Structure 1
């Protein structure tokens, strides 16, 4: 029997010292996977050379996230640029943007901004 694959969050993949002040979780499912992959590539291009880290597609639910997703991490000075880009480019995908204060429950609830239909979170995983 094969062990379940574990996926790393951007916090584990971002370059050392990367200023992670905000996360954007961009959710997808089987029917929107190709659009999400395309959006990820667009993000890599749009924010090239800036302090924006775009993670890999995570094809399974992980942590509190109940759907596949990918993350975009960014510092406070780029909040407006990244969020407005997501507003324009996300299509029908759901997005959760949240601050990173160190309090995961607060970050995913009160310090969160949602675009599109809300994806239920597993708060017990926080």
Structure 2
């Protein structure tokens, strides 16, 4: 491990969608809600923060990673999903520490840099 003193507080999954795939995103959200004790962010139907598409966020604990992420892998309905830890460094969490299911979308990391400086 590069830095053993860094603590992962939780994980975020960002489920990206557009108008045509919003129903699929809703099914994924319903499936997660039925199976796991996760917390959902609100629906963002427009670009927000570093994210290039509409999305919603799912927050889950490090202990849930081994259950939530495989479920997302098998049930993402073709949607792109960014999964990243929360360590206190948003730039590194969204880049070096990021895991992508589907296509790796271009994030606007400059937004995160402005927020953290």
* TM tier, smaller: 0.7 to 0.9
In the alignment, is residue 37 of structure 1 matched against residue 23 of structure 2?
no
**Residue aligning to 1:15:** none
**Matches of residues 61-76 of structure 1 in structure 2 within 5 Å?**
61-76=47-62
Structure 1 unaligned segments of length 5 or more: list them: 1-18
**Residue aligning to 2:4:** none
In the alignment, is residue 111 of structure 1 matched against residue 97 of structure 2?
yes
In the alignment, is residue 81 of structure 1 matched against residue 67 of structure 2?
yes
Of 30, 33, 46 in structure 2, the residue corresponding to residue 60 of structure 1 is 46
For the 8 Å contact 2:9–2:87, the answer to whether it is kept is: no
Q: Displacement, 1:20?
A: 5.1
Structure 2 unaligned segments of length 5 or more: list them: 1-7, 113-117
Distance (Å, rounded) in 2 between the aligned partners of 1:57 and 1:20: 23
- Secondary structure (helix, strand or coil) at the match of 2:59 reads strand
Deviation >6 Å, runs of 4+: none
The root-mean-square deviation of aligned C-alpha atoms, in Å, is: 1.4
**Residue aligning to 2:16:** 27
Q: C-alpha deviations, 1:8-29, integer Å up to 9, x for none?
A: xxxxxxxxxxx95110001001
> In the comparison of the two structures, how many residue pairs are matched?
105
